[in-house]
């Protein structure tokens, strides 16, 4: 496993396993156990995923010492305030059955993010979270949050994959010492991503799958990647990316697939904010 060092000195694994859209508790527990057995040490969940208890059970069952694991969860919009975040944090910790978190993120740049951030800063200073960060924030939102609070986020977890490469955002984050972490490394399989001709040609050259090429490409860009699979064989396959290196030429070829647009939702679009707010009953 390769690690990155965050802006507060904490070491974070470069390759992680995500559990979005695995609502079945037994299946989630089994697949997280499989992931930890395979070698994953970073597990990414969220209160909104409804499976923190299953992740907690898998951690206990794995037998791997707590300090070897890097556990992330996130506070969602209904708790995006100072008090709400304090409550959500306590609830997440209880569900995960943990004494501390490695990384706690504001899930969306929506709601009272300043109040929520101050709660994270306090929890961090009390030693209950080893690193704090954000998700789906654009550079202007990161600048605003950082400049008007005490602590600069350690991580921004954002949509990054071959169709939405975000090189400029990566350069900005790096210049501020913030680690980029990608979600949706496979664009959730959209646009026949696993059969993309450029990726297929590169994968054949290295004797790897297109999924492995996409994850290796993230690693070589210095991005912490998250992928999800509920299939044990693919869980193992997605971790087997440390024994080959993409050439500069192949890295450059992959840049030609970039469309630089989201395949999910733009967090600068009012319609996205309205949609997210609608999940917690807010509307104009």
List active site positions.
Answer: 49
**What SS3 class is residue 170?**
helix
CB of 113 to ligand NAP, least distance (A): 14
CB of 181 to ligand NAP, least distance (A): 9
CB-nearer residue toward ligand NAP: 9 or 207:
207
**What are the phi and psi torsion angles at 153 (to 5°)?**
-55, 145
CB-nearer residue toward ligand NAP: 26 or 126:
26
86 membership: H or E segment, kind and range: helix 82-96
156 membership: H or E segment, kind and range: strand 155-159
- Classify strands 101-106 and 155-159 as parallel, antiparallel or unpaired: unpaired
| Cβ(43)–Cβ(69) below 8 Å | yes
Binding region for ligand NAP (CB under 6 A): 18-21, 44, 107, 135-136, 157, 183-189, 194, 209, 211, 226-231, 234, 237-238
C-beta pairs of 63-70 under 8 Å, 24+ apart in sequence: 64/36, 66/98, 66/99, 68/41, 69/36, 69/41, 69/42, 69/43, 69/102, 70/12, 70/13, 70/16, 70/41, 70/42, 70/43, 70/102, 70/103
CB of 214 to ligand NAP, least distance (A): 9
CB-nearer residue toward ligand NAP: 150 or 190:
190
CB of 199 to ligand NAP, least distance (A): 11
């Amino acid at each position: 496993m390769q690690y990155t060092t965050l802006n507060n000195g904490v070491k974070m694994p470069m390759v992680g396993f995500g559990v979005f859209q695995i609502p079945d508790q037994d299946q989630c527990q089994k697949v997280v156990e499989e992931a930890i057995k395979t070698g994953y040490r970073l597990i990414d969940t969220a209160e909104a995923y409804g499976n923190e208890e299953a992740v907690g059970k898998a951690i206990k069952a794995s037998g791997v010492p707590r300090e070897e694991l890097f556990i992330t969860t996130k506070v969602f919009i209904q708790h995006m305030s100072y008090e709400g975040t304090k409550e959500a944090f306590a609830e997440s910790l209880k569900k995960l059955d943990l004494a501390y978190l490695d990384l706690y993120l504001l899930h969306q740049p929506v709601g009272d993010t300043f109040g929520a951030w101050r709660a994270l800063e306090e929890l961090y200073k009390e030693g209950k979270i080893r690193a704090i960060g954000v998700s789906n924030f654009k550079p202007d939102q990161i600048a605003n949050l950082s400049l008007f609070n005490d602590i600069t986020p350690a991580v921004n977890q954002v949509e990054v994959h071959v169709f939405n490469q975000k090189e400029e955002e990566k350069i900005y984050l790096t210049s501020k010492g913030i680690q980029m972490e990608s979600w949706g490394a496979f664009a959730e399989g959209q646009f026949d991503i696993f059969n993309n001709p450029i990726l297929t040609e590169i994968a054949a050259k290295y004797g790897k799958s297109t999924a492995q090429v996409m994850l290796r490409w993230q690693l070589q860009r210095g991005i912490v990647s998250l992928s999800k699979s509920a299939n044990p064989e693919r869980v193992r396959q997605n971790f087997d990316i440390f024994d080959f290196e993409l050439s500069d030429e192949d890295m450059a070829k992959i840049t030609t697939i970039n469309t630089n647009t989201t395949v999910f939702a733009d967090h600068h679009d009012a319609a996205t904010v309205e949609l997210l707010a609608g999940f917690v009953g807010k509307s104009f």
